[in-house]
Structure 1
């Protein structure tokens, strides 16, 4: 893993997000800035990141990345552009414009590389659980002793607001009960929600909660490229019947001193 290259890529993604949101005077910068290192490893770490093919975005055995926190869509568009998907720079510049392929929230079948329409918080967690279940079903039906057709992973990126929602709680319980060890949930734990700091809007111990639902839990520094890579490596190697949650402690809006680490860093629109 080339850490210097990935760190540079993370900053390039931040720059794209800042320019796009500024150009349309609307959007959420907090997640694209706070999760830039996560994106760099997912899309740039050839050993432990996503298995994908930009020229064949619907390749059957690709890893699926679902952005549950759909308001942070510039995270996805920035990385799809950088990674070579058919999301040209002009599409990034047209963020949130009428008839563009970069709408305010990701839309399935509208943008190459977007796996699910998301926006309502927590919905993407449910999408990811369904995708993981279908992946297990496909593997059981088509894989043989001599040929592995399906062995992909489903990765969801969700924030504090997503985890607060009832739909995600139901999906998390279902995933643990059904032993979906092909599912990886990256929890962007920045302790901020749109209303206020998370300490005002939520409580409880996230590690204990996920563990009680039958999940493996790994808490890391969400800006440490090596830690992110190692966490993904362990999660992908997991075959113990437990889905994995990577609780990534991040700083929302990282890179903009005036708002980083505060509810103002969330953005709006």
Structure 2
């Protein structure tokens, strides 16, 4: 089996590279994004270049494509056109190429942000969509494009992974990491009890991706939440992390904000067994 991974040099891509089991039956092709630079050749692929994407897939003939290349963070608030070019248009082009060239499986790393942050119980895949950022909107439009294309491509199945707040190696800007390192830079928290998140160790995301490459699914597109399934308030998080080392933070007033995954479907379909957030597991993951 041959697996193409876009965004191979990104945070999630590097973690995936570290976790794959190299064997004689699977060939992994990790490509880094070359957009906006002079980089080209083996190992690089501009995912916004429709022709380059088609030609790379035609030349390498992967059985599975894992699409991790994405824009996230502050840039998505500053540059709408670039956000949708990378997070939506490039995904549509990739899905069309996989369909046209006979790829069997497309795995797309989406986000739990598509549910918004104004609900109060863990969101299932059937929960209401609430798009309150260009990032969330661009990812959701990409999901819709994939669903439209797979509906007309009998040989192609897609698995959309809505991944919640990742922490771990490489994710230095996660609140978990910033609090852990707050001895040097104090962290500002928006309330202690009204801000809750599902903090997902990166190993849960890579485990889900690996399982998705081989799992049998019956629908053209299967959407699954990936998280810990546990909502931690800022108070919970500081207590767990503070059990291991002193933390430095200040608290300001903030609006109610909640984001957490119901992961029953991922447990059933992918066998997901996420790292539970405890004082011990958080400390081990961050050291």
Identify the TM-score tier after normalising by the shorter chain: 0.3 to 0.5
Structure with the bigger percentage of strand: 2
Greater RCO between the two (CA within 8 Å, min separation 6)? 1
TM-score, length-scaled by structure 1:
0.36
Q: Which structure would you say has the larger Rg?
A: 2
TM-score, length-scaled by structure 2:
0.34
